[in-house]
Structure 1
Amino acid sequence: MRRIALALTLLASPGFADSIAPRDGWAIHASTKTYDQMIDAVKAAAAENQLGVVTQAGPTGAAKARGITIPGNQVIGLFNNVFAVRILGLSTAAMIEAPIRVYVTEEPDGTALLSYKTPSHVFAPYLDEGGTDLAAAAAELDALFAGVAEQALAD
Protein backbone atom coordinates (compact mmCIF):
# COMPACT_ATOMS: atom_id res chain seq x y z
CA MET A 1 0.00 0.00 0.00
CA ARG A 2 2.86 2.37 0.81
CA ARG A 3 4.42 1.82 -2.61
CA ILE A 4 1.16 2.71 -4.33
CA ALA A 5 0.81 5.89 -2.28
CA LEU A 6 4.40 6.89 -3.03
CA ALA A 7 3.92 6.20 -6.74
CA LEU A 8 0.74 8.26 -6.81
CA THR A 9 2.48 11.11 -4.97
CA LEU A 10 5.34 11.10 -7.46
CA LEU A 11 2.95 11.02 -10.41
CA ALA A 12 0.90 13.89 -8.98
CA SER A 13 3.92 16.10 -8.25
CA PRO A 14 4.54 18.53 -11.07
CA GLY A 15 8.06 18.67 -12.41
CA PHE A 16 9.82 21.12 -14.62
CA ALA A 17 8.12 21.78 -17.91
CA ASP A 18 10.13 22.76 -20.94
CA SER A 19 11.37 26.33 -21.10
CA ILE A 20 9.10 28.85 -22.74
CA ALA A 21 9.55 28.40 -26.47
CA PRO A 22 9.94 31.36 -28.80
CA ARG A 23 6.58 32.62 -30.03
CA ASP A 24 5.24 35.52 -32.02
CA GLY A 25 5.10 38.79 -30.10
CA TRP A 26 7.07 37.56 -27.09
CA ALA A 27 10.44 38.69 -25.78
CA ILE A 28 12.16 35.78 -24.01
CA HIS A 29 15.46 36.25 -22.19
CA ALA A 30 17.60 33.63 -20.46
CA SER A 31 19.63 34.87 -17.52
CA THR A 32 22.30 33.81 -15.08
CA LYS A 33 20.28 35.16 -12.14
CA THR A 34 18.29 33.02 -9.79
CA TYR A 35 14.52 33.21 -9.73
CA ASP A 36 14.46 35.39 -6.58
CA GLN A 37 17.22 37.64 -7.91
CA MET A 38 15.30 38.15 -11.15
CA ILE A 39 12.08 39.09 -9.37
CA ASP A 40 13.97 41.72 -7.36
CA ALA A 41 15.80 42.91 -10.49
CA VAL A 42 12.55 43.30 -12.46
CA LYS A 43 10.98 45.39 -9.69
CA ALA A 44 14.03 47.64 -9.44
CA ALA A 45 14.30 48.00 -13.22
CA ALA A 46 10.59 48.82 -13.50
CA ALA A 47 10.99 51.73 -11.12
CA GLU A 48 14.01 52.98 -13.08
CA ASN A 49 11.90 52.90 -16.26
CA GLN A 50 8.91 54.82 -14.86
CA LEU A 51 6.75 51.71 -14.50
CA GLY A 52 5.00 50.67 -11.34
CA VAL A 53 4.39 47.16 -10.08
CA VAL A 54 0.60 46.95 -10.28
CA THR A 55 0.10 43.22 -9.73
CA GLN A 56 2.15 40.26 -8.67
CA ALA A 57 0.96 36.67 -8.55
CA GLY A 58 2.21 33.14 -8.91
CA PRO A 59 1.40 29.61 -7.80
CA THR A 60 4.74 28.73 -6.21
CA GLY A 61 4.04 29.85 -2.63
CA ALA A 62 0.50 28.47 -2.54
CA ALA A 63 1.69 25.14 -3.93
CA LYS A 64 4.40 24.98 -1.26
CA ALA A 65 1.77 25.60 1.42
CA ARG A 66 -0.05 22.56 0.02
CA GLY A 67 3.11 20.45 0.23
CA ILE A 68 3.84 20.60 -3.49
CA THR A 69 7.16 21.82 -4.81
CA ILE A 70 7.06 23.46 -8.22
CA PRO A 71 9.57 25.67 -10.01
CA GLY A 72 9.45 29.39 -9.29
CA ASN A 73 6.74 31.04 -11.34
CA GLN A 74 5.74 34.70 -10.98
CA VAL A 75 3.75 37.11 -13.12
CA ILE A 76 4.46 40.79 -12.45
CA GLY A 77 2.10 43.36 -13.93
CA LEU A 78 3.77 46.67 -14.84
CA PHE A 79 2.20 49.90 -16.02
CA ASN A 80 2.16 53.66 -15.67
CA ASN A 81 -0.92 55.83 -15.07
CA VAL A 82 0.16 58.32 -17.73
CA PHE A 83 -0.13 55.55 -20.31
CA ALA A 84 -3.38 54.30 -18.77
CA VAL A 85 -5.10 57.67 -19.17
CA ARG A 86 -3.63 58.13 -22.63
CA ILE A 87 -4.73 54.68 -23.84
CA LEU A 88 -8.18 55.05 -22.30
CA GLY A 89 -8.63 58.14 -24.45
CA LEU A 90 -7.89 56.03 -27.53
CA SER A 91 -9.61 52.72 -26.81
CA THR A 92 -11.51 51.79 -23.67
CA ALA A 93 -11.37 48.12 -24.67
CA ALA A 94 -7.56 48.18 -24.90
CA MET A 95 -7.26 48.86 -21.18
CA ILE A 96 -8.22 45.26 -20.41
CA GLU A 97 -4.61 44.51 -21.37
CA ALA A 98 -3.17 46.69 -18.61
CA PRO A 99 -1.05 46.07 -16.73
CA ILE A 100 1.33 44.45 -19.17
CA ARG A 101 2.78 41.36 -17.56
CA VAL A 102 6.32 40.09 -17.31
CA TYR A 103 6.81 36.45 -16.47
CA VAL A 104 9.68 35.15 -14.35
CA THR A 105 10.12 31.39 -14.42
CA GLU A 106 12.69 29.16 -12.78
CA GLU A 107 14.69 26.93 -15.10
CA PRO A 108 15.80 23.40 -14.12
CA ASP A 109 19.38 24.65 -13.57
CA GLY A 110 18.16 27.24 -11.03
CA THR A 111 18.48 30.25 -13.33
CA ALA A 112 15.54 32.46 -14.26
CA LEU A 113 13.89 33.12 -17.58
CA LEU A 114 12.35 36.56 -18.16
CA SER A 115 9.52 36.67 -20.70
CA TYR A 116 6.81 39.10 -21.74
CA LYS A 117 4.47 39.85 -24.59
CA THR A 118 5.61 43.07 -26.20
CA PRO A 119 3.17 45.95 -25.67
CA SER A 120 2.86 46.47 -29.44
CA HIS A 121 1.75 42.85 -29.75
CA VAL A 122 -0.64 43.13 -26.79
CA PHE A 123 -2.31 46.29 -28.12
CA ALA A 124 -2.36 45.25 -31.81
CA PRO A 125 -5.99 44.00 -31.70
CA TYR A 126 -7.14 47.51 -30.72
CA LEU A 127 -5.39 49.51 -33.43
CA ASP A 128 -8.61 49.79 -35.45
CA GLU A 129 -10.00 51.87 -32.58
CA GLY A 130 -6.86 53.58 -31.30
CA GLY A 131 -5.09 54.10 -34.60
CA THR A 132 -1.61 55.49 -34.95
CA ASP A 133 -1.75 57.17 -31.54
CA LEU A 134 -2.27 53.79 -29.85
CA ALA A 135 0.50 52.30 -31.99
CA ALA A 136 2.79 55.12 -30.83
CA ALA A 137 1.93 54.54 -27.16
CA ALA A 138 2.57 50.81 -27.58
CA ALA A 139 5.94 51.53 -29.24
CA GLU A 140 6.90 53.77 -26.31
CA LEU A 141 5.92 50.99 -23.92
CA ASP A 142 7.96 48.53 -26.01
CA ALA A 143 11.02 50.69 -25.34
CA LEU A 144 10.27 50.89 -21.60
CA PHE A 145 9.79 47.12 -21.31
CA ALA A 146 12.98 46.49 -23.28
CA GLY A 147 14.72 48.81 -20.82
CA VAL A 148 13.31 46.84 -17.89
CA ALA A 149 14.55 43.60 -19.43
CA GLU A 150 18.00 45.02 -20.20
CA GLN A 151 18.46 46.35 -16.68
CA ALA A 152 17.00 43.28 -14.97
CA LEU A 153 19.27 40.97 -16.94
CA ALA A 154 22.44 42.99 -16.30
CA ASP A 155 24.84 41.54 -13.75
Structure 2
Amino acid sequence: MRRTVLAPWLLALILAGPASGDTRWPEQGWHVTPISLGYSETLGALREAVEAEGMFVVTEAGPTEAAASRGVAIPGNRVVGVFRNDYAVRILRLSVPAMIEAPMRFYVTENDDGSTTLSWKSPSHLLTPYMDGAGAELASIAHELDTLFADIVWRVAEASE
Protein backbone atom coordinates (compact mmCIF):
# COMPACT_ATOMS: atom_id res chain seq x y z
CA MET A 1 0.00 0.00 0.00
CA ARG A 2 1.39 3.39 -0.97
CA ARG A 3 1.12 6.23 1.51
CA THR A 4 1.31 9.84 0.54
CA VAL A 5 2.93 12.17 3.03
CA LEU A 6 3.00 15.92 2.61
CA ALA A 7 6.47 17.35 2.85
CA PRO A 8 6.74 19.76 5.83
CA TRP A 9 7.47 22.71 3.54
CA LEU A 10 4.35 21.97 1.47
CA LEU A 11 2.18 21.72 4.57
CA ALA A 12 3.61 25.04 5.83
CA LEU A 13 2.85 26.66 2.48
CA ILE A 14 -0.74 25.40 2.56
CA LEU A 15 -1.32 26.51 6.16
CA ALA A 16 0.30 29.90 5.81
CA GLY A 17 -1.17 30.86 2.45
CA PRO A 18 -2.28 34.42 1.81
CA ALA A 19 -4.67 35.74 4.45
CA SER A 20 -6.54 37.72 1.82
CA GLY A 21 -7.72 34.64 -0.07
CA ASP A 22 -11.10 34.15 -1.68
CA THR A 23 -13.90 34.50 0.88
CA ARG A 24 -16.75 33.30 -1.32
CA TRP A 25 -18.27 30.31 0.42
CA PRO A 26 -19.60 27.36 -1.57
CA GLU A 27 -23.37 27.38 -1.54
CA GLN A 28 -24.16 23.68 -1.43
CA GLY A 29 -24.24 22.33 2.10
CA TRP A 30 -22.59 25.35 3.72
CA HIS A 31 -24.02 27.68 6.33
CA VAL A 32 -22.24 30.97 6.99
CA THR A 33 -23.11 33.21 9.94
CA PRO A 34 -21.53 36.59 10.71
CA ILE A 35 -20.73 37.01 14.41
CA SER A 36 -20.01 40.43 15.91
CA LEU A 37 -17.67 39.01 18.56
CA GLY A 38 -13.91 39.02 18.14
CA TYR A 39 -12.00 35.88 17.26
CA SER A 40 -11.10 34.73 20.79
CA GLU A 41 -14.56 35.58 22.11
CA THR A 42 -16.22 33.62 19.31
CA LEU A 43 -14.05 30.59 20.04
CA GLY A 44 -15.00 30.83 23.73
CA ALA A 45 -18.69 31.23 22.94
CA LEU A 46 -18.51 28.29 20.52
CA ARG A 47 -16.90 26.02 23.12
CA GLU A 48 -19.57 27.02 25.68
CA ALA A 49 -22.39 26.47 23.18
CA VAL A 50 -21.05 23.04 22.19
CA GLU A 51 -20.99 22.00 25.84
CA ALA A 52 -24.44 23.48 26.52
CA GLU A 53 -25.86 21.36 23.69
CA GLY A 54 -24.32 18.19 25.13
CA MET A 55 -21.68 17.83 22.44
CA PHE A 56 -17.89 17.81 22.78
CA VAL A 57 -15.03 19.66 21.13
CA VAL A 58 -12.82 16.76 20.05
CA THR A 59 -10.35 18.52 17.73
CA GLU A 60 -9.06 22.00 17.04
CA ALA A 61 -6.65 23.07 14.35
CA GLY A 62 -5.65 26.31 12.74
CA PRO A 63 -2.66 28.01 11.17
CA THR A 64 -2.86 31.31 13.10
CA GLU A 65 -0.79 30.37 16.14
CA ALA A 66 1.72 28.32 14.13
CA ALA A 67 2.19 31.20 11.71
CA ALA A 68 2.66 33.64 14.61
CA SER A 69 5.37 31.40 16.07
CA ARG A 70 7.20 31.85 12.76
CA GLY A 71 6.71 35.63 12.82
CA VAL A 72 3.88 35.63 10.27
CA ALA A 73 0.68 37.46 11.19
CA ILE A 74 -2.57 36.20 9.67
CA PRO A 75 -6.18 36.68 10.79
CA GLY A 76 -7.62 34.21 13.29
CA ASN A 77 -8.54 30.94 11.65
CA ARG A 78 -9.63 27.81 13.53
CA VAL A 79 -11.42 24.57 12.66
CA VAL A 80 -13.25 23.09 15.64
CA GLY A 81 -14.29 19.44 15.41
CA VAL A 82 -17.45 18.59 17.34
CA PHE A 83 -19.00 15.20 18.00
CA ARG A 84 -20.32 12.78 20.61
CA ASN A 85 -19.70 9.06 21.06
CA ASP A 86 -23.33 7.94 20.98
CA TYR A 87 -23.62 9.44 17.49
CA ALA A 88 -20.42 7.68 16.46
CA VAL A 89 -21.79 4.31 17.59
CA ARG A 90 -25.14 4.85 15.87
CA ILE A 91 -23.51 5.93 12.62
CA LEU A 92 -20.99 3.07 12.66
CA ARG A 93 -23.82 0.56 13.00
CA LEU A 94 -25.27 1.93 9.78
CA SER A 95 -22.19 2.85 7.74
CA VAL A 96 -18.54 2.34 8.58
CA PRO A 97 -17.39 4.66 5.75
CA ALA A 98 -19.61 7.50 7.02
CA MET A 99 -17.42 7.89 10.11
CA ILE A 100 -14.80 9.64 7.96
CA GLU A 101 -17.08 12.67 8.35
CA ALA A 102 -16.62 12.74 12.14
CA PRO A 103 -15.91 14.92 13.89
CA MET A 104 -18.07 17.42 12.08
CA ARG A 105 -16.54 20.84 12.03
CA PHE A 106 -17.17 24.50 12.64
CA TYR A 107 -14.88 27.02 11.00
CA VAL A 108 -14.15 30.33 12.77
CA THR A 109 -12.52 33.02 10.67
CA GLU A 110 -11.54 36.52 11.72
CA ASN A 111 -12.70 39.37 9.50
CA ASP A 112 -10.83 42.60 8.71
CA ASP A 113 -13.14 44.60 11.00
CA GLY A 114 -12.41 42.36 14.00
CA SER A 115 -15.69 40.44 13.81
CA THR A 116 -15.79 36.76 12.88
CA THR A 117 -17.56 34.38 10.56
CA LEU A 118 -18.82 31.05 11.87
CA SER A 119 -19.36 28.54 9.10
CA TRP A 120 -20.05 24.83 8.82
CA LYS A 121 -21.20 22.17 6.44
CA SER A 122 -24.52 20.73 7.53
CA PRO A 123 -24.29 17.20 8.92
CA SER A 124 -27.00 16.09 6.48
CA HIS A 125 -24.87 17.34 3.59
CA LEU A 126 -21.85 15.46 4.92
CA LEU A 127 -23.79 12.22 5.44
CA THR A 128 -25.82 12.27 2.20
CA PRO A 129 -23.32 10.17 0.21
CA TYR A 130 -23.77 7.30 2.69
CA MET A 131 -27.57 7.29 2.84
CA ASP A 132 -28.07 4.97 -0.13
CA GLY A 133 -26.74 2.08 1.91
CA ALA A 134 -27.83 3.22 5.36
CA GLY A 135 -31.29 4.51 4.57
CA ALA A 136 -33.76 6.50 6.60
CA GLU A 137 -32.10 5.85 9.95
CA LEU A 138 -28.93 7.67 8.87
CA ALA A 139 -31.08 10.49 7.49
CA SER A 140 -32.75 10.75 10.89
CA ILE A 141 -29.39 10.98 12.66
CA ALA A 142 -28.27 13.62 10.17
CA HIS A 143 -31.39 15.65 10.91
CA GLU A 144 -30.73 15.40 14.68
CA LEU A 145 -27.19 16.64 14.10
CA ASP A 146 -28.43 19.46 11.83
CA THR A 147 -30.64 20.62 14.68
CA LEU A 148 -27.83 20.40 17.24
CA PHE A 149 -25.45 22.36 15.02
CA ALA A 150 -28.08 25.04 14.37
CA ASP A 151 -28.72 25.29 18.12
CA ILE A 152 -25.00 25.68 18.78
CA VAL A 153 -24.79 28.52 16.25
CA TRP A 154 -27.90 30.14 17.72
CA ARG A 155 -26.19 30.19 21.14
CA VAL A 156 -23.04 31.74 19.70
CA ALA A 157 -25.10 34.37 17.84
CA GLU A 158 -27.04 35.14 21.05
CA ALA A 159 -23.74 35.65 22.90
CA SER A 160 -22.76 38.25 20.29
CA GLU A 161 -25.83 40.42 20.81
Q: Give TM-score, length-normalised by structure 1.
A: 0.89
Q: Please point out which of 82, 85, 93 is paired with 2:86.
A: 82
Q: Taking every aligned residue pair, what percent have the same amino acid on both sides? A: 47
Q: Is structure 2 residue 64 aligned with structure 1 residue 27?
A: no
For residue 18 of structure 1, report the CA deviation from its aligned partner. 4.1
2:116 equivalent in structure 1: 112
Unaligned runs of 5+ in 2: 1-15
Q: Please point out which of 130, 141, 154 is paired with 1:126.
A: 130
Q: Please point out which of 131, 141, 145 is paired with 2:145.
A: 141
Structure 1 43/20 Cα, relative in aligned 2: closer, same or farther at 3 Å?
farther
Q: Whose radius of gyration is greater, 1 or 2? A: 1
Classify the secondary structure of the residue corresponding to 1:102. strand
Distance across 1 between alignment mates of 2:129 and 2:120: 17
Please say if residues 13 and 68 of structure 1, whose CA atoms lie closer than 8 Å, have aligned partners that are also in contact: no
Distance across 2 between alignment mates of 1:13 and 1:84: 33
Structure 1 84/13 Cα, relative in aligned 2: closer, same or farther at 3 Å?
closer
CA-to-aligned-CA distance 1:42-61 (integer Å, 9 cap, x gap) = 10000111110000010000
Unaligned runs of 5+ in 1: 1-11
Distance across 1 between alignment mates of 2:17 and 2:104: 31
Q: Give TM-score, length-normalised by structure 2.
A: 0.85
- How big is the alpha-carbon RMSD for the aligned residues of Structure 1 and Structure 2? 1.4
Structure 1 142/32 Cα, relative in aligned 2: closer, same or farther at 3 Å?
same
Classify the secondary structure of the residue corresponding to 1:71. coil
| Greater shift in the superposed pair: 44-53 or 19-28 | 19-28
Q: Is structure 2 residue 106 aligned with structure 1 residue 102?
A: yes
CA-to-aligned-CA distance 1:7-63 (integer Å, 9 cap, x gap) = xxxxx9834334342511011000111111110011000011111000001000000
1:53 equivalent in structure 2: 57
Q: Is structure 2 residue 150 aligned with structure 1 residue 150?
A: no
Please say if residues 28 and 116 of structure 1, whose CA atoms lie closer than 8 Å, have aligned partners that are also in contact: yes
Distance across 1 between alignment mates of 2:144 and 2:23: 28
